[in-house]
């Protein structure tokens, strides 16, 4: 039986060198490398390695390491993820509420979070709704300006400051 450290290294190399979207796919790739593990073992390995999933820009998800998240997609692909799921934007005070196509809130919120909009503290996503939390002291107007800077599609859809 090969050592865990070797298996971890192979998992890292596979995930960083190709787009892997499921544990089944990763199990097959590991078997091709001579590592036969169960799905439960692979699941524990992924948890130990802090592997996560991010949108792949084509409607699916791929595995990434935390240090690779910033490399996981270009700004263009993040904007495309936003556009793909976005339906509307409304405000209550300085909080923003974003409606998305059902099932798209996570990828739209991920896009907003990773576009690094200075006025945005963070997002909370449900299935088709996102609460966008601005930083302290950021007005509705400043928040909308920041969003439009990174997401000009909002201006095209009629959102104005």
Q: Please check whether residue 160 lies inside any domain of the structure.
A: no
Write down which residue in 55, 71, 87 finishes a domain: 71
157 versus 73: the higher-pLDDT residue is 157
Note the pLDDT tens digit of each residue in 10-23.
Answer: 999 999 888 898 99
pLDDT at 126 over 80: yes
Q: Please check whether residue 148 lies inside any domain of the structure.
A: yes
Domain that holds residue 127: 77-154
Q: Give the integer Cα–Cα distance in Å for 149 and 41.
A: 44
Same domain, 15 and 57: yes
At residue 134 the predicted structure's pLDDT band, cuts being 50, 70 and 90, is: very high
Q: Please check whether residue 159 lies inside any domain of the structure.
A: no
CB contact set of 126 (below 8 Å; sequence gap of 6+)? 105
Q: What 3-state class would DSSP assign to 96?
A: strand
In degrees and rounded to multiples of 5, residue 64 shows phi and psi of: -145, 160
At residue 147 the predicted structure's pLDDT band, cuts being 50, 70 and 90, is: very high
Percent of the chain with pLDDT strictly greater than 70: 93
At residue 2 the predicted structure's pLDDT band, cuts being 50, 70 and 90, is: low
Domain count of the chain?
2
* Predicted model pTM: 0.58
Same domain, 13 and 41: yes
User: How long a stretch of residues is the chain?
Assistant: 161
Note the pLDDT tens digit of each residue in 49-84.
Answer: 988 887 776 677 888 887 665 454 578 788 888 999
Name the helix (H) or strand (E) containing 64.
Answer: strand 61-64
Same domain, 115 and 57: no
Check if the beta carbon of residue 31 is closer than 8 Å to that of residue 41.
Answer: no
The closest alpha carbon to 1, from 30, 33, 42, 34, belongs to 34
Same domain, 58 and 109: no
């Amino acid at each position: 039986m090969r050592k865990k450290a070797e298996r971890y290294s192979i998992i890292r190399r596979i995930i960083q060198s190709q787009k892997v979207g499921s544990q089944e796919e990763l199990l097959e790739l590991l078997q091709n490398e001579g590592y036969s593990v169960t799905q439960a073992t692979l699941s524990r390995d992924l948890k130990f390695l802090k592997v996560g999933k991010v949108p792949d820009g084509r409607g699916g998800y791929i595995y990434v390491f935390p240090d690779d998240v910033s490399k996981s997609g270009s700004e263009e692909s993040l904007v495309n993820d936003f556009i793909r799921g976005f339906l509307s934007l409304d405000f209550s005070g300085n909080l923003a509420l974003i409606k998305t196509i059902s099932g798209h809130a996570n990828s739209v919120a991920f896009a907003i979070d990773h576009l690094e909009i200075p006025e945005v503290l963070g997002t909370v996503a449900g299935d088709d709704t996102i609460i966008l939390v601005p930083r302290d002291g950021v007005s509705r107007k400043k928040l909308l300006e920041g969003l439009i800077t990174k997401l000009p599609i909002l201006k095209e859809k009629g959102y104005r400051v």
